[in-house]
Structure 1
């Protein structure tokens, strides 16, 4: 994938994260604050924890840091998959955000 293709796909991923947070806030009392600065989105939860999603352009990866740990994802042609073969980005984000928010949350990919 070219750098331009990576950036298009990665920017779309960040936009989907932001849109999902807006939807979650409209539909629940989760109150997730999401702040975007450049290629990074920080999700802040009521309990003071955060999830940070940022782009790693030189590696063509998206990284996520959550209370559960740090994870790297690459686009495999159809989805953003964990580089260690442990699953898909949005499924992981939903799991870790649900843990940190203390309630079930869904993110759309």
Structure 2
């Protein structure tokens, strides 16, 4: 499994949490979409032995999408598809916002 993509999914999740916590709701839809694309890339390159781990990540992200949809202000359109993959909970040792932005930029350049 590509750890750089998995790291990107976690970085995007952290970024999403930060955006929600600081009220930057206008940025949330873009971050949700970026994370969804990263998870799709991760799914495409997963081996058979990675499927269980990947399934757990997909379920956690779907649950998080539902939570974000519930707490988002009414004027924010998240366009969350229930079949799509949502965020996971942020890790205890989360990177800084600048580190997340840098990781997202590196991931965009590596495609």
Q: Which has the higher strand share?
A: 1
Which has the bigger relative contact order, CA under 8 A and spacing at least 6? 2
* TM-score of the two chains, using structure 2 as the length reference: 0.34
* TM-score of the two chains, using structure 1 as the length reference: 0.34
